[in-house]
Amino acid sequence: MNTKLEFHGSDIEKVCEHYGLKKDDIVNFGANVNPLGLSEQVKKALAAHLDLLSSYPDRSYTSLRNILSTYCQIPADFILPGNGSSELISLLIEERRPKHTMILGPTYSEYSRELGFSDSTIDCFYLKPEQDFQLSVEELCLALAKKQIDFLILCNPNNPTSSAIFHPELIKLLEFCQDHNIFVMIDETYVEFAPDVDAVTAVPLTQNFQNLMVLRGVSKFFAAPGMRFGYGITGNAEFLKKLKSKQIPWSLNSLGAFAGELLFQDKDYIKKTRNLILSEREYMYTKLRELPFFYVYPAYANFLLVQIQKVGLTSSDVFEACIREGLMIRDCSSFTGLEGEFVRFCIMDPEDNRRLLTVFQKIFTISPKTSMIYIQRTSTMKESNIPCQQNMKCCFFLYINSLFPVFF
């Protein structure tokens, strides 16, 4: 029995091992990280301040919170820095101790994983592909009331759908949740990639709703996943005080706090990132919409979700075609609630984006009359670049005049 291999965006080491590739030879379209990399200005500053590692950070992170206050246009007292969004998600769930949680899906699996350590039941409200994964607030509110939910988790813009909920809908939802004693956690990891950030972010709403906490981080937009720096925003002072009391002291290290102060003030980097992502996302979206067997969903994050609509072609096949060109996209088969054949890829630099586009175009420009030869052979990694267990036979289709064999 063959088990389908699944790779997440951070699984590049596993991909290298499986396909016999080197990490430097792969363009990772699956991790959703800014292709510009860490700000050069921040790199230089970090190199010049390594001695910070010899001292504890300010326990209250006063300077960092003040800079975040300016960046987010929110009072500094609303802000709680942490060791990545993961720590804050865990803290929030531990403190809220929800009994019945609803997650807007399909989405990031970390929410369910963290809830698994609590006593909460978990229900999912799935966005519908036929509605371009746009939320019906009315339908969600009915589901919340029916299930007697006391905790709601949203990712906005959402991963992997790249869809977004806008201010009018957010306000309706938060008002309903406030009236029904439902606390709302909104993960805004990708919000800075939205065409109009102000139309999507719930940060200003923390001044009006006590039942809300917004989480952000620097992993994606600022290309600093290794820094493990996230921050939460809530206007609920009592709740924030309880979170702080349970947080491990100095959870964000001195160098991370220093780098954070610099990141949010690097206006040139922020502008350059947004110009690149917005223009390239529009280009890739437009070009892929021209291909007859792809449906590309409207995107508000730095990635596109694509549904494969060609009979017999799977997300695994498309992943294979891409990885053999050194391009690692995300096969979305592992996302619960995403039925069908979907792939996701983030926006990279223009040259790499066009390489990926060429792969997608070639997949569908193969003539229907193209000859196919079924070959059975004993394969080694050197012969075919496909890892096989020793003495096992590997069967594959070879498309004549095509660069993209589909392996089974």
Q: In 49-200, which residue ranges form alpha helices assigned H by DSSP? A: 62-72, 84-96, 110-115, 137-146, 167-179, 197-200
Residue with tokens 């409207």: 298
Pairing of strands 342-346, 303-308: antiparallel
Instruction: Indicate the pLDDT class of residue 17, thresholds 50, 70 and 90.
Output: confident
Instruction: Indicate the pLDDT class of residue 366, thresholds 50, 70 and 90.
Output: low
Q: What pLDDT sits at residue 254?
A: 96
- Tens of pLDDT, residues 219-238: 999 999 999 999 999 999 99
Interhelix angle 40-48/267-289, nearest 10 degrees? 140
Stretch 265-281: mean pLDDT: 98
Helix (H) or strand (E) run with residue 241 in it: helix 237-246
Tell me how far apart the alpha carbons of residues 49 and 118 are, in angstroms, rounded to a whole number.
40
pLDDT of 187 over the 70 cut: yes
Q: Residue 125 pairs with which residues in a beta bridge? A: 104
CA dihedral for 152, 105, 187, 242, sign (positive or negative) = positive
Q: What pLDDT sits at residue 369?
A: 35
Q: What pLDDT sits at residue 386?
A: 37
CA distances 164 to 159, 196, 251, 366, Å, are: 10, 11, 31, 35
Q: What pLDDT sits at residue 5?
A: 65
pLDDT of 399 over the 70 cut: no
Specify the CATH class of 1-30+267-365 in words.
alpha beta
Mean pLDDT (the chain, rounded): 88
228: left (phi over 0), alpha (psi -120 to 50) or beta: left
Pairing of strands 303-308, 294-296: antiparallel
Q: Taking the domains of the chain in order of start, what are their residue ranges?
A: 1-30+267-365, 40-265, 368-408
- Tens of pLDDT, residues 76-128: 999 999 999 999 999 999 999 999 999 999 999 889 999 999 999 999 999 99
40-265: same fold as 1-30+267-365? no
Stronger pLDDT, 9 or 304, i.e. the higher one? 304
In 159-267, at which residue ranges do the beta strands (DSSP E only) sit?
183-187, 212-217, 230-233
Tell me how far apart the alpha carbons of residues 7 and 10 are, in angstroms, rounded to a whole number.
8
pLDDT of 168 over the 60 cut: yes
Instruction: Indicate the pLDDT class of residue 8, thresholds 50, 70 and 90.
Output: low
- Tens of pLDDT, residues 112-122: 999 999 999 99
Closest C-alpha to 92, from 70, 117, 69, 75 = 117
Neighbouring CB atoms inside 10 A of 146's CB total: 9
Judged by DSSP in three states, 230 sits in strand
Judged by DSSP in three states, 272 sits in helix
Q: What pLDDT sits at residue 364?
A: 74
Q: Residue 231 pairs with which residues in a beta bridge? A: 81, 216
Tell me how far apart the alpha carbons of residues 250 and 58 are, in angstroms, rounded to a whole number.
8
- Tens of pLDDT, residues 21-69: 888 999 999 999 999 999 999 999 999 999 999 999 999 999 999 999 9
Which CATH architecture group holds 40-265? 3-Layer(aba) Sandwich (3.40)
| Cβ atoms 182, 130 nearer than 8 A | no
Tell me how far apart the alpha carbons of residues 5 and 7 are, in angstroms, rounded to a whole number.
7
pLDDT of 407 over the 50 cut: no
Tell me how far apart the alpha carbons of residues 123 and 112 are, in angstroms, rounded to a whole number.
10
CA dihedral for 66, 67, 73, 79, sign (positive or negative) = negative
Judged by DSSP in three states, 340 sits in coil
Tell me how far apart the alpha carbons of residues 331 and 26 are, in angstroms, rounded to a whole number.
16
Stronger pLDDT, 245 or 396, i.e. the higher one? 245
Tell me how far apart the alpha carbons of residues 107 and 85 are, in angstroms, rounded to a whole number.
15
pTM above 0.85, yes or no: yes
Tell me how far apart the alpha carbons of residues 299 and 288 are, in angstroms, rounded to a whole number.
13
Q: What pLDDT sits at residue 12?
A: 81
Centroid of chain to Cα 351: 22
Instruction: Indicate the pLDDT class of residue 264, thresholds 50, 70 and 90.
Output: very high
